[in-house]
Amino acid sequence: MMLFNVKISGMSCASCASSIESETQKILGVSSASVNFATESAKFEISSNEVQTLIENKVKELGYSFTLEMETEKKERDGITLFWISFTLSILLFMLEMGPLKKVVSLKTNYYLQFLFALPIWLWIGAKFQISFLNFLRSGRSNMNTLIGLGTSAAFLYSTLITFLTEQTISWGLTQKVYFEAVGFIISFVLLGNYFEEKAKRKSKDALNSLLKLSSKSALVLRDGDFRDIDINEVVVGDTVRVLPGGKFPVDGEVLKGSSAVDESMLSGESLPVVKKAGEKVFGGTINGDSAIEFIAKKIGSDTFLSHIVEFVENAQNNKPEIQRYADRISSIFTPIVLVFSILTLVLWLFFGVSNIWGNAISNFIAVLVIACPCALGLATPTAVVVATGRASLKGQLIGGGEVLEKACNINAIVFDKTGTLTEGRPQILDYSLVTTDDNLEILRDVASIEKLSEHPLAKAVINFALDKGLKLIEPDFFEIHKGMGIEADISSSTYVIGNKKLLEKFEINVVEEENTIIGSYIYIAKNKEYVGKIIVGDKIKSSAKEMIRNLRDRGIETWLITGDNEVVGNAVRDELGIDHIIANALPLEKAGMIEKIQEKKFKVAMVGDGINDAPALAKADLSIAMGTGTDIAISTSDVTIVKGDIEKVISFLDLSEGTMKIIKQNLFLSLIYNTLLIPIAAGVLVIFDGPMMPPILASVAMGLSSISVVSNSLRIRNLI
């Protein structure tokens, strides 16, 4: 199976998306279809490339089309132009029907002029509504445009009968009133509502668009001995690329020459620049600081980290939470129900109306059709998901869609891996202490210089510790490894023995033990047969971990630490952070079983791990959160990826999830209460209580405002994190 993503234009409500989904899933070779009305995008899982053509043909048959982003922006510009034309003609219609032009000409001529002004609005500007109505008559499939098409067609055709068949309509008992101005204003206000809706929907996708804009269009690449400015698409893996101060890194790579502070905030959400030097990774879309850097291209095009993020966010915005599927099911049956209710309204007014029977029946029939459009209901969930996932991506959180946000609200237990999750994940010097009066920096220099020749994983921590203190390393005169114990070496006219306690005992050197509560690996140092001190190397706990655990406890979420380390190390971390439960000495494959045991206690479990060796446990958990570092991010395997491994962003993700689901429920309430209250009013129920009727024009304004209110409410999510 392969994924096929495409933009689709012409959708007017969630019913359109549901129709495309149900019809394309019937095509042989399509295993799944997901269509998002808010983002105007679709994702199909298909068996071969040939199926793409079948899908496109089916989409066209349904009255929609594949499109490009630039075409969407053009459609938005054309929409506002059509609105102004329609609105201008509608003003003329209003002036002829109710304004100063009403008595300038005879009534017959007045009706003829109204017909001429209304015809282009109904037939040309409102063509999509009339086409949708004709498609409904042919296939029985309906959507929001069907309701507008039926309403405006009923008004236009009724008014046309009154205009051209006056004598006959009088004999039939029809009310001698035309509704051309209603046709004009309904289509005008629907177009205006569509324009603001499109603008708001595009604003909800600003986060994703800003990611897309991060990529550079060109690169300064070494070709034939000179650096040349070439198109980004011409860069190949292995090219030497130069980035000038303030310039963007065009692709991912590894620094060859130079050192500079690089702004990676657009990818990680971290505000502080990261210093990059030879051998370190750089990513496309990030911004260089004050110094030029040369790097070798490692990943280009769709393989870059930025491209992976964009792809992840796009896919996430197409994933539907269960609450959206519920709204879609309502929308899919809502339109046919409204059609029945509008016809019932027409019939009841014809039989029980007391005055101006035909006029009131037609007016209320149109008002019900217009005001009942389920557009707001269709936008309630997807716009919120688009804003939430887009905003999160700019804050260094990659969220796998609305379903993930929904799951996060039910979590009441979180399991943490230790190394790389709660700790920094790399050996660091926790303590360096001497029991001698010798120069401690000189001894540190000698030890680091000796460790430079060692392959032990802790050696790098000692070397970096010395370099950070500005020490210049030298070459030993003699060097010998004692396997499993340490090193013996001659340097600076002194003999050093460096390693564990067994090595010093082998050389009959007495180690002076001091009480120490620091958990880590101890490197003992002897100089000229005398013990001089020790270095403790360990994995530092992240500075934000303690506050994060406290926040989870305040929320009533139980915390677990499952680690492969021994109980001494595990208990030390638990005690320092205040974690509720600990399981030590756990192998990666055993962690999944432990997650299952916690779930058996009726917990909804989130697992926070590094996304690689914790993969089985992440897969078993109800919600998986991977702590990402650079290109090692397991984007495709986790529900959420925290870029740069910032543990405190677990809290902001939970805040975002809770806030987003709250706003989705508000949106659904707004849209459902809107239809529940206004449809009876549009049908004329207030007349029973000597109240007014709702004109079709006012119904069109109310319908547009409902959609705008839902989208505007969704945009508040940007303030949650």
* CA dist 348 → 345, 364, 687 (Å): 5, 10, 13
Nearest to 39 by CA among 75, 15, 11, 79: 11
Q: Is 417 a catalytic residue?
A: yes
What are the E-state strand segments in 291-427?
293-299, 397-399, 413-416
DSSP 99: S
List Cβ neighbours of 371 (8 Å cut-off, separation of 6 or more): 675, 678, 679, 682, 694, 699, 700, 702, 703
- CA dist 675 and 698 (Å) reads 14
Cα(528)–Cα(42) distance, rounded to whole angstroms? 73
CA distance 124 to 95: 22
Distance, in Å, from the CA atom of 161 to the CA atom of 367, rounded to the nearest integer, reads 20
Burial per residue of 483-501, b for 16 or more beta-carbon CB atoms within 10 angstroms, e otherwise: eebbbbbebeeeebbbbbe
Those residues with Cβ within 8 angstroms of residue 698's Cβ, 6 or more apart along the chain or in another chain: 367
CB within 8 A of 679, min separation 6: which ones?
338, 341, 368, 371, 372
User: Do β-strands 413-416 and 558-562 pair in parallel, antiparallel, or remain unpaired?
Assistant: parallel
Strands 521-527 and 494-499: antiparallel
Catalytic residue among 417, 610, 639, 646: 417
Count the Cβ atoms, other than its own, within 10 Å of residue 470.
7
- Residue 12 DSSP class: -
Q: CA 186 to CA 16: how far, in whole Å?
A: 21
Cα gap 60→506, rounded to integer Å:
83
> What is each CA distance from 667 to 320, 381, 711, in whole angstroms?
16, 7, 8
Q: Among all residues, which ones are annotated catalytic?
A: 417
